[in-house]
Chain A
Amino acid sequence: MRKITYRKALNEALDEELAHDDMVVVIGEEVAEYNGAYKVTEGLWEKWGDKRLIDAPISEAGFIGMGIGASMLGMRPVMELMFFSFAYVAFDQMMNNASSVRYMSGGLINCPIVVRGPANGGTNVGATHSHTPENIFANMPGLKVVSPATAYDAKGLMKTAIRDNDPVFFMENTMLYGMEWEVPENSEIEGGELIIPLGKADIKREGTDISLIAHGRAVITALEAAKILESEHKINAEVVDLRSIRPLDEETILNSVKKTNRSVYIEENKPFCGVGAQISSMIMEKAFDYLDAPVLRITSVDSPAFYSPPVEKRQLPYPEMIVEKALTIC
């Protein structure tokens, strides 16, 4: 099967959805003529023109709010945040308007908008550009939050997110953009296109001894840790990728934990009320009798992102950290 980058997978998803529905527009800073700050939209402006690919001024509250308003009338805007960290200047629009206008109108309105962009640390850009707000947005009913780890998932989830009739916040990762994974050509897929439902987790590696559960780039880190656990410690770890944080596939998580009886949640999010806190609580509530050890969590170190490159590397979860933690309960 062909291999493409995570970036290219997103690009294909956008291209296909621009073709699929005239109401899809892509709006954001540098998405059109510049070809995207991270080249996710490369070539799309040339192909689709000014009407469908729109360069926005640096004005997140304005253009994200504008996209929400347009979605209320049935458009399907895909809004790029150059960094998801910039969501914080559009917070009122995202948290009050996108999430709640349906509820406050008694169900008369819906917002089929996608807000996408990289939400990660690890690139030595300091605290302001390294936020991982998936827990913050997943805390808000009315919003959906997606965080793909591979090119395959990025493509399939993006297409679904654009067709979804609720607001979907799609959190990518700049450190994954250049990584390649197998993604089939549409001609190789039954139904002719790659569609992955929201709310379906994926077992990225089957195992029997411990469940390493993660989302986003932490899935890749967990896969590396699983290799070490197997080769150096004869421990067979299962890696569960949430893919979608809200809606959440509880069943797949619980089935894995019931099989392995041990779990560690790994994320690049901060620890306090992080995604892992939610998952740990759920596991203890629903799989308590299956647990042979406490449910553990690994997160980013609980401080703002450190600039210094070698230090920031150790601020985020890395394979050896996962191995060490896993060994405490295996």
Chain B
Amino acid sequence: MSTDTVSPSPHAEAEINKSLSNEDKIKFLRDMVRIRRFEQISLKAYQQGKMGGFLHLYIGQESVAVGSISVCGENDHIITAYRDHGHALASGMSMNECMAELFGKATGCSKGKGGSMHFFAPAKRYWGGHGIVGGQTPLGAGIAFALKYQDIKGCCLCYMGDGAVNQGAFHEALNLASLWDLPVIYIIENNGYSMGTSQKRSSAYPEAGLAARAEAYGMDWDVANGEHIYEVRAKTWEAVQRAHEQSRPTILELATYRYYGHSVADANAQKYRTKEEIEKYKNEHDPLNLWRNTLLDEGVITEDLAKEIQQEANEEADASIKFAEDSPFPEDSAMLQDVYWEVDNDTESGKTGRHFF
């Protein structure tokens, strides 16, 4: 973590940021506020017992998803791990379909079959939502492979946590990405803790940082402060250009912080970190505050507009709770749907032989 101030970001002058309209900048604030409100409300519903399973909150990290996804074009794809609500909303998914999924309802983005960790929207080039740490990293390489194979100028942003760097699958994916010149960008959202184990206690060679693992594969890498939209956009755009123009992969490590535990079920969230540490991030590094203040300083928004944005997000989130509550649970008949494409589509293959036992 670096900046302690809200002084103007040098990255505001980056080409990708200079071209931003006021509407764009306001949209980033709106997206971050929406993500936070969505999660605050979902936490409340979780605590009321309205959903099952895990709830991995993204609160504190919003600038990473919103900033990086904002530089994506129509041929750029997103895939992430289980802390996926922020990326889903930043990719354009609606609060309704996401909240309904948390509630396990038939109207959820995955029809209630995936839950918190498994949001999907391929039509928005958002490929999940993956539960096993690091398991999505070869998939990200595969998405990049498919783009390159078809001569499509695009890339895949593959998000992961700092804990995932120690998985073998990740290192295999890095080797393939560099060996085969795949346009994939591994974005390590380094919030300092792999569940309850700090980076110092989990990852060797701390003085080099995590992104430097790219050196072993002859891959470009960069480290940035993930709390500021301008910086996230500038750094991501460099990597996207490298992917588009040179078909080369990048590891981009973005320093960030999660205010809550690994998941809501993380009973020790306040034990492996000091209260002071958490408060310091909330007070001095909150990505929403930083961006809101930047926009106020730039005269892009007024206090009134900021309040209005918050109010709209509150209403949208409340409406999504109502939508989720009013939606039906899936029928039991849904259990055997969406297992096999050929069965679902009633093809000759799907009708031949017994598929379910």
Contact of B120 among A59, A73, A104 (CB under 8 A): A104
Contact of B141 among A66, A104, A200 (CB under 8 A): A66
Determine chain B's interface SS by DSSP, over half rule.
mixed
Flag if B142 contacts A278 (CB, 8 Å): no
Task: With both chains docked as a complex, state the minimum distance between the C-beta of A101 and any C-beta of chain B, in angstroms.
Answer: 7
Flag if A68 contacts B138 (CB, 8 Å): yes
Chain A 65-84, CB within 8 Å of chain B: the 1/0 string? 11111111111000000000
Which B residues lie within 8 Å of A66 (CB)? 138-139, 141-142, 145, 173, 176
Task: With both chains docked as a complex, state the minimum distance between the C-beta of A203 and any C-beta of chain B, in angstroms.
Answer: 15
Number of interface residues of B (CB under 8 A): 57
Q: Which of B113-172 contact A (CB under 8 A)?
A: 113-114, 118, 120-123, 127-132, 135, 137-143, 145-147, 149, 168-169, 172
Flag if A106 contacts B111 (CB, 8 Å): yes
Chain A interface size, under 10 / 10 to 19 / 20 to 34 / 35 or more: 35 or more
Chain A 138-176, CB within 8 Å of chain B: the 1/0 string? 000110100000000000000010001110000000000
**B355: CB under 8 A from chain A?**
yes
Docked CA distance A179–B32 (Å): 63
**B357: CB under 8 A from chain A?**
yes
Docked CA distance A118–B337 (Å): 31
Docked CA distance A109–B128 (Å): 10
Docked CA distance A163–B354 (Å): 19
Chain B 327-355, CB within 8 Å of chain A: the 1/0 string? 00000000001111110110111001111
Which B residues lie within 8 Å of A164 (CB)? 342, 349
**A9: CB under 8 A from chain B?**
no
Contact A70:B342 (CB < 8 A) given known A97-B135, A244-B353: no
- A40-48, A220-228, A246-254, A260-268: which lies at the B interface? A246-254
Flag if A61 contacts B168 (CB, 8 Å): yes
Flag if B118 contacts A105 (CB, 8 Å): yes
Which A residues lie within 8 Å of B168 (CB)? 61
Contact of A72 among B113, B114, B127, B175 (CB under 8 A): B127
Contact of A65 among B118, B121, B169 (CB under 8 A): B169
Which A residues lie within 8 Å of B122 (CB)? 72, 105, 108-109
Contact of B352 among A70, A97, A198 (CB under 8 A): A198
**B320: CB under 8 A from chain A?**
no
**A320: CB under 8 A from chain B?**
no
Contact of A92 among B111, B132, B142, B179 (CB under 8 A): B132
Excluding A106-B108, A198-B352, 13 further A-B contacts by CB distance (< 8 Å) are A54-B180, A56-B176, A62-B173, A62-B176, A65-B142, A93-B169, A104-B118, A104-B129, A106-B338, A112-B341, A164-B349, A165-B342, A247-B352
Question: Which residues of B are at the interface with A, using a C-beta cutoff of 8 A?
Answer: 77, 79, 108-114, 118, 120-123, 127-132, 135, 137-143, 145-147, 149, 168-169, 172-173, 175-176, 179-180, 337-342, 344-345, 347-349, 352-357
